[in-house]
Structure 1
Amino acid sequence: MDEARFDAFLERALREDNIRLVQLRAKQLDEAAYLARAQRALSLCREHGARLLLNGEPTLLDQIDADGIHLTSERLMQLERRPIAESKWLSASTHNQTQLTQAAVLGCDFVSLSPLRTTPSHPEVAPLGWHDFQQLVERAGMPVFALGGMTRFDANHARAVGAQGIASIRDFWK
């Protein structure tokens, strides 16, 4: 997706869907392109009262003053201590109890837990389902966002089973 189109999609999601937390995940970009996109995304988020998390190495915060870092589950499991200042948000992708425990050890402020449902991006991964998701949320010890096949219509159900809310790409990225 070209940069002008990306910016327009993000601006629309912030304005029309009232999104207040954005995770910038763009693994296909090289470092310079990612940093340029992150700077523009940060400006748009600030303009609309939203927070921005960068998806990548914690050192990205040395170059872009975003609100925090989101760790992949692989990176989460490699760390021994919180990699960023307490003044910044630290979140992580989790998929099981071991990763939730590691997130707690590192002092993550919140996590996403997935996949709740089968997703087109990971069709080979067995979904947790609502029951197992709820069991993990109850033991998480931190706010958890449901991820994986979620739509805005799942937000109330997710909160009813203990989640902070939902995370979604396809439902908000139109």
Structure 2
Amino acid sequence: MTPSFLPDVYQVTPNPSEPPEFEPFLSQLCATLNSGIKLVQLRAKQTPLHERIIVARKAVRLCHDHGAMMILNGIVDDALQVGCDGVHLVTNAMMQLSARPTTSILVSAACHSAEHVAHADRLGLDFVTLSPVLHTLTHPESTPIGWERFAQIVAGARIPVFALGGMTPDMLDTAKRRGAHGIAAIRATWRTDSVV
């Protein structure tokens, strides 16, 4: 996928709750998609596998109904099983790879350093997130890399990089000026209102 077809705002979902139907979560996802989001990462690490598959199937259908792509944070087999457009790898999983894990779907990864981004480049991944750029309530213990270091790391990247960590929609232009393809966010772009 070339950057021109990749949206510049990447929604990372909060962890779904309310199993087994996940209606409040899916309603909020629908509201988020209605706001114009076209790239979603379902992040359900705290959800048991069986329930994660259930919510992923429902979420991918909802995303596709809205013309959006859905990436599953997890493993390739699960993403393929539920019909996702891609898989998002955690840093440790990505760093253990010596080759791209699949060409059937998009592959992205979480990066936190120049070494991580360089490895993703070598693997030929489609895009990555680089975080945390700024202080974030999601990971308050993490030290932000800041915009200057972000720009230095991104300058050497051949693949699209999304700035993650403390991002808000009004930071999109700032991120692009620093070399980002766009921004990724959890809370700032997630709609907590529901669509009935």
Which TM-score band (shorter chain)? over 0.9
Displacement after TM superposition at 1:121 (Å): 2.2
Aligned counterpart for 1:54 among listed residues 63, 68, 72 = 72
Displacement after TM superposition at 1:105 (Å): 1.6
| Greater CA drift, 58-67 or 94-103 | 58-67
Separation of aligned partners in 2, 1:64 and 1:107:
23
Separation of aligned partners in 2, 1:95 and 1:28:
21
- Give the partner amino acid of 2:159: M
TM-score w.r.t. length of structure 2: 0.85
| 1:34 corresponds to 2:58 | no
The answer as to whether partners of 2:71 and 2:79 remain within 8 angstroms in 1 is no
1:26 partner SS: coil
TM-score w.r.t. length of structure 1: 0.95
1:172 partner SS: coil
How many residues align? The count is 172
Deviations 1:54-77 (A, max 9, x none): 110111134111101000011111
Displacement after TM superposition at 1:156 (Å): 1.0
Counterpart position of 1:121: 138
Counterpart position of 1:65: 83
Moved over 3 A (4+): none
Separation of aligned partners in 2, 1:27 and 1:61:
13
Between the two proteins, what is the percent identity of the paired residues? Answer: 43
| CA RMSD of superposed structures (Å) | 1.0
Separation of aligned partners in 1, 2:135 and 2:181:
21
Deviations 1:23-46 (A, max 9, x none): 010111111101111111111111
Deviations 1:111-149 (A, max 9, x none): 000000011122222111111101111111110000000
Counterpart position of 2:162: 145
The answer as to whether partners of 2:75 and 2:89 remain within 8 angstroms in 1 is yes
Gaps of 5+ in 1: none
Separation of aligned partners in 1, 2:79 and 2:34:
25
| 1:14 corresponds to 2:38 | no
Separation of aligned partners in 1, 2:156 and 2:162:
14
Gaps of 5+ in 2: 1-16
1:63 partner SS: helix
Counterpart position of 2:181: 164
| 1:93 corresponds to 2:128 | no
